[in-house]
Amino acid sequence: MAGDEAAGSSTRPRAAVLLTGSELVTGVIADANGPWLARELTARGFEVAHLQLVGDRPGDLEAALRYAATAGSALIVTSGGLGPTADDLTGEVVAEFAGVDLVLDEAMRERIAGIVAAFPRAGRDPSALDAAVRKQALVPRGAVALNPAGTAPGLVVPTDAGPLVVVLPGPPRELRALWPAALETAPMRTLLAAVPPAAVRLLRYYGLSEAEIAATLRALEESRDIGGVEVTTCLRRSELEVDLRPRPGAEDAATWLAGQLAERHADRLVSADGTSTDELLAGALLAADLTVGTAESCTGGLLAGRLTDRPGSSLYVAGGVVSYSNEAKVRLLGVPAGLIDAHGAVSPEVARAMADGARAALEAELGIGITGVAGPDGGTPTKPVGFVCLCVTTSSGIVLARDLRLPGNRADVRDRSVDAGMHLLLRAARSVLASSPPSPAAS
């Protein structure tokens, strides 16, 4: 679901993203730069007209540049094709598109030569190396060159009648490193000064459907005109993200709408400012000075992996046990074998015993047990594929349990179980925070 904005009705300047590389059009790798650039451009107030992925073919690249200009883009950002080899041709094609020739930037040549000298390359003779360095130091006349984060400089290329073209290297680390410098160049600053601010609001829900939000939006439309607010909803990691993006003049309507949406579904609101569940959980655990121990069966370590994604997570993650076999549940978590016999390994009773076992084995204040049928095999009529039992127990006596029937394939069931585990831990940590007296250290 998204706003029904027609092309041309927006007053925001348009931008296009152009991602080059033959490995992108054969599907050998999935592009990582497009979504990142789209978010950056959207956050800065541009309307992204399209993203296009093309192979390392000069004709296709040139056609894509012309198409973006025709589609009314004031800005084109490209990634890739800045390396030293013959198929790296973005600089050349963009210069032709801008109608200028390439000139050698001597200072840049020296800078690149210095970088390249630091790592000798196998099988490359000195004259080939010189030619490669020289090639990378060629800059379209009138363009601003950006110092490389790898060996490839970026380019900010004004064109006479057409869009501004920002040329960035393909490796995501290098692209992200050069972007702030591109924003600081004079032509970019001039362009950005003409872009109205974005003022995006992101509401995050867990357990809310798109249909429910759609019904609420329809009801709200009757009390106030919200046509100026572009609403995009998106299910990600089992969460519903609702993105409110006011067109110029609709800022007040967006603020009102955000307040209404937060209030009407307060029970399932995770955050009204886009803060992620992972951040909220880390914050709650740190605030309450709690550690977590995990006991995972069907998720096989993915919950522990997600909990330890964050730097500094050793402050609140004690560790975990992946008890894929019943023996491991008994031996490492102290789950009574009789409990497994009586209720089955996938049961609320075993999930709770796993949570208690994780707390004991890892000396943690919070324990979580997850056991389920991830599939594709192992389902029964009463415990089908997707049946997952979760339980969180705390040393202060809180017990939170959920039994789910999750849709999807094996990977979906595992991912959604991890999501459910994160939210159950967040609820438990908040409960502990709410029930604990103010810390004496705070007085």
104-133 residues in contact with a second copy (CB under 8 A) are: 121-124
Cα–Cα distance for residue pair 146/180, rounded to 1 Å = 10
Contact between 49 and a second copy (CB under 8 A)?
yes
Of the pair 52, 277, the CB lying nearest a second copy is at 52
**Smaller CB separation from a second copy, 93 or 145:** 93
Segment interacting with a second copy (CB under 8 A) among 188-196, 230-238, 281-289, 334-342: 230-238
CB of 319 to a second copy, least distance (A): 4
Considering only CA atoms, which of 194, 189, 191, 259 is closest in space to residue 229? Answer: 259
Strands 138-140 and 102-104: antiparallel
Coarse DSSP helix, strand, coil percentages of the chain, rounded to the nearest 5 percent: 45, 20, 35
Candidates 40, 239, 356, 419: give the one binding a second copy (CB under 8 A): 40
* Residue keyed to tokens 């012309």: 66
Burial tier of 166 (Cβ tally within 10 Å: 0-12, 13-18, 19+): buried
N-to-C CA span, the chain: 49
- Strands 239-246 and 229-236 turn out to be antiparallel
How far apart are CB 318 and a second copy at their closest, in Å?
6
Q: By C-beta, is 103 or 199 nearer to a second copy?
A: 199
Q: Can you read off the two tokens belonging to residue 317?
A: 């993650």
Distance of CA 154 to the CA centre of its chain: 24
Task: Kindly state whether residue 36 participates in binding a second copy, applying the rule CB under 8 A.
Answer: yes
Please identify, using beta-carbon distances, which residue of 243 and 251 lies nearer to a second copy: 243
What is the x/- site pattern for a second copy, positions 68-87, by CB under 8 A? Answer: --xx-----------x-xxx
Residue 75 or 304 having the CB closest to a second copy: 304
Element (H, E) at 433: helix 410-435
- Which CB, 52 or 238, lies closer to a second copy? 52
Q: Which of 96, 105, 212, 403 binds a second copy (CB under 8 A)?
A: 212
Residues 304-343 that bind a second copy (CB under 8 A): 304-305, 307-309, 311-314, 317-325, 327-328, 331-332
Select from 91-99, 142-150, 347-355, 358-366 the region that touches a second copy (CB under 8 A). 358-366
CB 356 within 8 A of CB 398: no
Q: Characterize 167-194 residue by residue with b for buried, 16 or more Cβ atoms within 10 angstroms of its Cβ, and e for exposed.
A: bbbbbeebbbbbbebbeebebbeebeee
Place of tokens 């004496």: 440
Our CB check for a second copy shows the closer of 36 and 256 to be: 36
Q: Judged by CB under 8 A, how many residues of this single chain contact a second copy?
A: 111
* Contact with a second copy (CB under 8 A) among 252, 363, 380, 436: 363
**Contacts of a second copy in 381-410 (CB under 8 A):** 408-410
